[in-house]
Structure 1
Amino acid sequence: MSLPPRPLAAIFDLDGTLVDNMRFHVQAWVAMSHSLGIDAPVERFEREFAGRRNEEIFPALLGRPVPPEELARLAEQKESHYRALYAPHLTPLRGARELLGRLRGAGFRLAVASAAPRANRAFVLDGLELRPFFSQVVGAEDVTRGKPAPDIFLAAARVLEVDPAACVVFEDAVHGIHAARAAGMFAVGVTTLTPAEVLREAGAHQVIEDFASLPQEFEWRLFGGE
């Protein structure tokens, strides 16, 4: 799949994409698992759970159904720990603010599509004053299936009123790349946590380290000769 001749929308994952924060999530998950008496390897959180909803992660981690009240309690324990760990380091990924401004100026419709809980989205988007760039924010509460299902990206396309084929997705996780591809969108992998070759194997059409130095051909396809 090549980039659409004139992409109309750009959809951004949050964790690991707009911010380089996944190692803090992993630290919080490791601490959470230890508190539950579970010895889960770091790689499980980095690979298996990245991009998935807490409603999916906790039952998989515990190996049993988790009642809603218990799920809410465990999720708040983990997420509040993550926010405390990451708060001193809160910063956008290099070039993110500048790229968002350029995309808005070029007429792109912008959305965040993230499995992050509402409080975590507010923590990043409001803490970094990024929310004004986005006309829509789609979260786990808006879909029934998390990534790698395409639901959250398709929901973003619907609220942006753009055909999925005219959307570019920026995503750091293998599950997210699978979801973008399943949605019929152009998938851009961001290598904050996952190596470039792994993202390419997952189906990423383009791979970048950050937003400050986009490959020349990709930038030209986005912005032409601006």
Structure 2
Amino acid sequence: MDGVLTLNNHFHRQAWQEVAAGVLGLHLGAHELDTKVDGGRNPEIIERLTGQVPDEALVRRVHDTKEGRYRALAAGALREVPGLSAYLDALDARGIPFALVTSADAVNVAFGMEALGLGHRFTVRVLGEDVTRGKPHPEPFVLGAARLGLSPTDCLAHEDAVNGVRSAAGAGCRVVALTTTAPAQALQAAGAALSAPDFTGWAAWLV
């Protein structure tokens, strides 16, 4: 969802930088955000940042603080990635099912869907709490394909982060990545077949 349906990753990054400094005592630069934060679930992000498996109390504290700060920053500012609605219309017209596969929790998904007016379009969903291993592990996309009644090898995935591309490609999906968060070279090195700035060129990959 983040960075794919809406251009909001800068809000997540700012929230992570603030919470990492205030709660974990860590300074996060671009490298840490690119490799350890983007596309992940909070417990795994904390583990990657600290090198230790966090206890439940720390996970809850970081989660509540960071996600609350994200929603405060993003309130009233979320917009669709260009071309998204036309792309979803094209999928519907062709009878192609689709699912939301995200590391976000239910509260953030509801927040984003309400802001974008897309809740009715994404009836099949895999959220961060639905899996035991988040991105870059393939589990989220394996589950997403299963909920569509498909094999991952029959699915096309869109991701904006290196960890997300690795997850989708590792599951067997063909990946068309969006360069809303990471550069094309990094996304293609992670396994994306193609990259695009947004969804306006959907006809190039929907054949």
Q: Report the TM-score when normalising by structure 1.
A: 0.86
Alignment length, in residue pairs?
206
Query: Kindly, what percent of the aligned residue pairs are identical?
Result: 35
Pairing partner for 1:192 from 143, 155, 180? 180
Any residues of structure 2 matched to 1:137-148 within 5 Å, and which? 137-148=125-136
In 1, the alpha carbon distance for the partners of 2:146 and 2:50 equals 34
Any residues of structure 2 matched to 1:143-222 within 5 Å, and which? 143-214=131-202, 216-219=203-206, 221=207
Any residues of structure 2 matched to 1:56-67 within 5 Å, and which? 56-67=44-55
Q: Deviations over 1:155-214 (max 9, x none)?
A: 011111112111110100111111111111111110001111111111211111001123
**8 Å contact kept, 1:104–1:133:** no
Report which of the two has the higher share of strand.
1
**8 Å contact kept, 1:177–1:189:** yes
Aligned residue for 2:68? 80
**8 Å contact kept, 2:36–2:49:** no
Q: Deviations over 1:125-184 (max 9, x none)?
A: 122111211231101111111111110000011111112111110100111111111111
Q: Report the TM-score when normalising by structure 2.
A: 0.94
- 1:98 and 2:86 equivalent? yes
**1:43 shift after superposition:** 2.5
Unaligned runs of 5+ in 1: 1-13, 222-226
In 2, the alpha carbon distance for the partners of 1:49 and 1:198 equals 15
Greater gyration radius: 1
Aligned residue for 1:19? 6
**8 Å contact kept, 2:40–2:135:** yes
Q: Deviations over 1:51-79 (max 9, x none)?
A: 11101112332343322133112201001
Any residues of structure 2 matched to 1:103-122 within 5 Å, and which? 103-122=91-110
**8 Å contact kept, 1:30–1:42:** no
**1:108 shift after superposition:** 1.0
Cα root mean square deviation, aligned: 1.4
**1:118 shift after superposition:** 1.3
Aligned residue for 1:3? none
